[in-house]
Amino acid sequence: MSSIIITAALTGPIATKADNPALPVTPAELADAAEACYKAGAAIVHLHIRDEKGAPTVELKRVKQCLDAIHERVPQVLTQLSTGGIEPTYEDRSKIVELRPRMASLNPCTMSFGLTEFRNPPKEMRKLAARMRELGVKPELEIYDYGHLDVALSLLKEGLLAEPLQFSIVLGVAGGAAATPQNLVGIVSHLPKGTTWQVIAVGRANLELTTIGVAMGGNARTGLEDTLYLRKGVLADNASLVARLVQVCNGLERPIATPEEAVKLLQLPEIKQA
């Protein structure tokens, strides 16, 4: 089997330090976490940015400060900015791709997200997809159910996405498909040939479903965005989650991809400079 690309999702849009004190929030904490995860085996860091008070922000100055801190400390690691999140408007969330990260998330559909609403309006989402294509920022397509995959494939037909597509199959969000092996196998069986994918297993099923995904030949993601715990009652930190995933990959004899290998495997386009 080919090398496996590990992504560390360092922070997420919802949890706070009150939930887990290891949650990286400041530029220095994000740089520390990115370095520790890179050393543990991660090729990519997926990033949500927080302001000085720890609240989600997409203010470009703050986002750039965090990206610079990470790139300065660990220039090898690939950065993937989230365009998701509940609070900032879609228009503001979309602007962060102007900072030209190597990758950014693209969520094809609006949905319930627990007791909140995750807004990804069809017209604005298409505008963002087009802009990402123009800039050479590869979309990490986050799909939370079968219908989201169909919408992503329509974007391909509309010329808004370039192949090969990269999917994250998100399972376990209240509003999306449940975190079950059946859902993972079912959605993977509908992916077109030549796509790359990983499972994002939110919450308690993180270890089991990520392991099944690795055994099925997918890439893998973990981090405090996806689970705050290593096991019941034991809080995690990002590097320990990556180290545990590396053990799983070693057990399944999947070599770990370096960031350079990840660039080739994902066929990341060249970024168009400003």
List residues near ligand KMH by CB under 6 A.
Answer: 12-13, 82-85, 105, 107, 142, 170, 173, 202, 225
Look at the block and give the residue holding tokens 């449940």.
178
29, interface contact from ligand KMH, Zn ion, none, CB < 5-8 Å by kind? none
Q: How far is the CB of 194 from ligand KMH (least distance, A)?
A: 23
Q: 177, 183 in Cβ contact below 8 A?
A: yes
**Residue number with the smallest Cβ distance to ligand KMH:** 84
Whole-number Cα distances in Å, 120 to 7, 117, 191, 211, 255: 23, 9, 22, 29, 35
Instruction: Name the residue nearer to Zn ion (CB basis): 8 or 256.
Output: 8
The SS3 of residue 18 is coil
- Three-state secondary structure of 70-117: HHHHCCCCEEEECCCCCCCCHHHHHHHHHHCCCEEEECCCCEEECCEE
Q: How far is the CB of 117 from Zn ion (least distance, A)?
A: 16
172, interface contact from Zn ion, ligand KMH, none, CB < 5-8 Å by kind? none
Instruction: Name the residue nearer to Zn ion (CB basis): 82 or 120.
Output: 82
Q: How far is the CB of 225 from ligand KMH (least distance, A)?
A: 5
Residue 82 touches Zn ion, criterion: CB under 5 A:
yes
Instruction: Name the residue nearer to Zn ion (CB basis): 9 or 149.
Output: 9
Instruction: Name the residue nearer to ligand KMH (CB basis): 116 or 258.
Output: 116
Q: How far is the CB of 206 from ligand KMH (least distance, A)?
A: 12
Residue 11 touches Zn ion, criterion: CB under 5 A:
no
79, interface contact from Zn ion, ligand KMH, none, CB < 5-8 Å by kind? none
- Three-state secondary structure of 29-49: HHHHHHHHHHHHCCCEEEECC
Q: How far is the CB of 225 from Zn ion (least distance, A)?
A: 5
Distance CA 192, CA 91 (A): 30
Side-chain half-sphere CA neighbours of 215 within 13 A: 11
Q: How many CB atoms lie within 10 A of CB 16?
A: 14
Helix axes 206-215, 238-251, angle to 10 degrees: 40
Q: How far is the CB of 176 from ligand KMH (least distance, A)?
A: 8
- Which residues lie near Zn ion (CB under 5 A)? 82
